[in-house]
């Protein structure tokens, strides 16, 4: 007998969405100061690691997710509220991806101060800041929150003019990165749900093909002899059942 769970295919490893403890604005300010004290800028002889290949891959994953989920809707299948959000806002997402490509030249990004820590090695300092902000705000950003976060960070470690100029595009990059991870999570849940449905259908199909054995005969002691003889009135010791079984 084959493995009954063979239809549940394992997905390749994926990065978890940027989701950590949700912090109040006051605690976000404290977090910004903590990051400013911890971040160490690497020597300027090497450029920041380019994020544009990752942006292109993020765009590919999001397009795939949109096409897959739109196909489900066209076939009349149910989709989750998260999938509906992606379908409804995909044009906006695509516009933000185009805005990053138009407003943040690759050459400028690679000149931004980069970090030396192992976790962020090679990445621009402002990109690490954006990821940390999104991680602790559930991607819910507003102007007042952004201003206070940036002011708190710069009260410990001032940013360069180039970093401040790139900040809006860097935020978009980080948000798109997180959205890509959420889209992958949506697709994994969708595939698991489909696999479970198929497994349930195949299981029900197999139960319908089980061999049906005939029902056992009904024995009537008044008409059938226990020893197998043809008499219907045999009262011998062999044919008469014990009294405690009657």
Please give the Cα distance from 30 to 246 (Å, whole number).
86
Other beta carbons within 10 angstroms of residue 2's beta carbon come to 5
- Residues 146 and 100 sit within 8 Å (Cβ to Cβ): no
Average pLDDT over residues 220-243: 43
Q: Is residue 144 part of a domain?
A: yes
Q: Is residue 208 part of a domain?
A: no
For the chain, percent of residues with pLDDT exceeding 90: 65
What is the domain count for the chain? 1
Q: Is residue 108 part of a domain?
A: yes
Quick one: pLDDT at residue 204? 67
Mind listing the pLDDT tens digit for each residue in 120-175? 888 999 999 999 999 999 999 999 999 999 999 999 999 999 999 999 999 999 99
Give the domain extent around 72.
Answer: 25-201
Please give the Cα distance from 147 to 153 (Å, whole number).
10
Whether residue 217 is predicted with pLDDT greater than 90 in this model: the reply is no
Quick one: pLDDT at residue 195? 87
3-state SS of the chain is CCCCCCCCCCCCCCCCCCCCCCCCHHHHHHHHHHHHHHCCECCCCCCCCCCHHHHHHHHHHHHHHHHHHHHHHHCCCCCCHHHHHHHHHHHHHHHHHHHHHHHCCHHHHHCCCEECCCCCCCCEHHHHHHHHHHHCCCCCCCHHHHHHHHHHHHCCCCCCHHHHHHHHHHHHHHHHHHHHHHHHHHHHHHHHHHHHHHHHHHHHHHHCCCCCCCCCCCCCCCCCCCCCCCCCCCCCCCCCCCHHHC
- Residues 119 and 102 sit within 8 Å (Cβ to Cβ): no
Q: Is residue 43 part of a domain?
A: yes
Q: Is residue 233 part of a domain?
A: no
Strand partners, 41: 115
Quick one: pLDDT at residue 215? 43
Please give the Cα distance from 174 to 100 (Å, whole number).
11
* Higher pLDDT pick, 226 / 168: 168
- For the ranges 7-11, 120-124, 197-201, 209-213, the maximum mean pLDDT occurs at 120-124
Q: Is residue 213 part of a domain?
A: no
Among 214, 134, 202, residue whose Cα is nearest residue 171 = 134
Please give the Cα distance from 116 to 170 (Å, whole number).
19
Q: What is the mean pLDDT of the chain?
A: 83
Please give the Cα distance from 113 to 124 (Å, whole number).
6
List, as own/partner pairs, every contact residues 3-7 make where C-beta atoms lie below 8 angstroms and the sequence separation is at least 24, other chains included: 4/199, 5/199, 7/195, 7/198, 7/199, 7/202
Please give the Cα distance from 232 to 241 (Å, whole number).
14
Band the pLDDT of 99: cuts 50, 70, 90.
very high
Q: Is residue 101 part of a domain?
A: yes
Q: Is residue 57 part of a domain?
A: yes
Whether residue 106 is predicted with pLDDT greater than 50 in this model: the reply is yes
């Amino acid at each position: 007998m084959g493995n009954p769970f063979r239809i549940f295919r394992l997905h390749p490893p994926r990065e978890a969405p940027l989701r950590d403890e949700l912090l109040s604005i006051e605690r976000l300010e404290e977090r910004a100061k903590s990051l400013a004290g911890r971040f160490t800028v690497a020597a300027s002889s090497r450029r920041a690691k380019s994020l544009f290949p990752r942006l292109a891959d993020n765009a590919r994953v999001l397009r795939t997710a949109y096409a897959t989920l739109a196909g489900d809707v066209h076939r009349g299948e149910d989709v989750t509220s998260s999938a509906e959000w992606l379908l409804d806002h995909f044009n906006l997402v695509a516009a933000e991806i185009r805005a990053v490509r138009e407003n943040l030249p690759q050459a400028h990004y690679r000149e931004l101060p980069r970090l030396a820590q192992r976790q962020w090695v090679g990445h621009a300092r402002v990109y690490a800041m954006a990821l940390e902000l999104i991680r602790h705000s559930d991607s819910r950003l507003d102007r007042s929150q952004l201003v206070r976060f940036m002011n708190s960070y710069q009260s410990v470690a001032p940013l360069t003019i180039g970093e401040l100029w790139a900040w809006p595009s860097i935020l978009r990059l980080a948000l798109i990165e997180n959205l890509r991870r959420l889209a992958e999570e949506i697709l994994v849940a969708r595939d698991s749900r489909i696999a479970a449905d198929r497994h349930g259908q195949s299981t029900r199909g197999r139960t319908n093909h089980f061999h049906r054995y005939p029902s056992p005969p009904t024995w009537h002691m008044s008409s059938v002899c226990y020893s197998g003889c043809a008499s219907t009135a045999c009262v011998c010791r062999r044919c008469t059942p014990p009294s405690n079984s009657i």
